[in-house]
A and B are shown apart, each in its own frame.
Chain A
């Protein structure tokens, strides 16, 4: 049915080339900056004229970056696990059980997802300082729930609606309790949706800047985006451009890999949540 003419083929090739160039140029640019020798960092050439690993050596010798990397990984992973676990249970109830207030929950979580984060920063800053959560991991993980939970509930309830629930009834007929049916039968079927939601939440937490820059201040809890925005140079005579570029590349590599490997899941997760939510 679809007959591809040579002209269509070259048209698509041009479109694909354009999409590739536009998507990749800023990424290649920051990689190139990170590999430039500090003496040539200001030369404005797109590709390094003098290659060197100096910038990478520099950031891994600085506690500020390695601490931030550890905080970013830990905080993003813990936020993802907590949000997905709590949301999976709630989404199961929304997709499966009949109880009052279901629509209210979905509506309220949509409203919460649209909260401007800056509106929460002031009170949290004051509160956290008073109760000792300022500049701690829980001090960031808790506010991440504001956005991670609604996102997870939405995506997961969309996925859970597609699961063949007859299997659960079959298990219950065979004598399983609703809880057993959930753990033994439905959880394995729900795993792909849970994994996809986890990726989306992780990307969100990894990306956050507003909360990180407002609610943390030291290596105890500062994440990479907040840390590199306040980077000092490798020494006091060098500009931080090279260090920032190198740090940026380090936090970007895992994200590019995640996107390339799980492209299909990210597409299905975001489209499912948007269309069916």
Chain B
């Protein structure tokens, strides 16, 4: 509870018994959630940082010792790390860009459907409910040279999953399929805030559908679009399940999360693996900070209200 200590200077003297007991109750009610969240996130990340400063390899437990920033030096000077960062960025940018377009179309369809709206929403949401591992297996078997329907349909002679470009296309399609409904829902929340009267007024003034979309809908939805982009970018950046199921990072699709997993759980090198973990955390924080700076510029209306 000490993490949420009262900001000094607030009318402490004038507090009635009722305000005081309300404050006490409030702090008591949030305490379990706060304590648990700190225990399961702050503690491990600090522990990860401590581990990252040590030579700690479970195969040689007696050789553990404090080595400062050496692990970071090893990771940051390895070409593997940088190429994995690049692979992750390619997948992130491609999936989020495609999803933004498809998600917007889907949100418009969910919002404006003139009949069967409930059915459209329900069916469009199905991929959201499918386990990512299941979606990845379905798409992987669909692409596989012998058993899949896609190579048959496209008349491919070679195994698409044996090539780098084929693997990327397959992974990106699988991710886009699975997460576009989530993107669409976040955008749908923003669409619902655009008043119909504005569209009516613009239509009376002779604006085309296209003009109304770009001049009315998009500007008013900007906060929702930024929130959706932030959520999905951070989510896409930690992509693990799909890549792991497709080929565990073969054919140049290894992402930073796969690298961290391999270091930690296959090579049991906790020191190096923790350095990778901490660096991923830092990258995610940087991406979030860039977006949140963008919010400040664009999200004044419709943002957080307390």
Contact = CB atoms under 8 A, between A and B. Distances in A.
Interface of A: 2, 4, 8-9, 12, 15-16, 19-20, 22-24, 26-27, 29-30, 33, 41-46, 86-87, 89-90, 92-94, 97-106, 108-109, 111-112, 114-127, 142-143, 145-146, 149-150, 153, 178, 203, 206-207, 209-210, 213-214, 224-225, 228-229, 241, 244-245, 248, 251-252, 255-256, 258-260, 263-264, 266-267, 270-272, 274-277
Given A41-B147, A255-B129, A259-B122, A2 B47 contact: no
B207 to A, nearest CB: 18
Contacts of A203: 128-129
Contacts of B119: 16
Interface stretch (B93-101, B109-117, B158-166): B109-117
7 contacts: A93-B27, A103-B304, A122-B264, A228-B133, A263-B118, A266-B128, A270-B189
A122 B71 CA distance: 15
A118 B277 contact: yes
Contacts of B306: 102-103
B37 A149 contact: yes
B265 interface: yes
Query: Which are the 5 A-B pairs with shortest beta-carbon distances?
Result: A101-B4, A99-B26, A271-B189, A93-B29, A97-B26
Contacts of A210: 240-241, 257, 261
Interface of B: 3-7, 10, 19, 22-23, 25-27, 29-30, 32-34, 36-37, 40-41, 43-45, 47-48, 51, 106, 109-110, 113-116, 118-135, 137-139, 141-142, 146-149, 151-152, 177, 181-182, 185-186, 188-190, 192-193, 224, 227-228, 231, 234, 237-238, 240-241, 244-245, 256-257, 260-261, 264-265, 270, 273-274, 277-278, 280-281, 284, 288, 302, 304-306
A100 B7 contact: yes
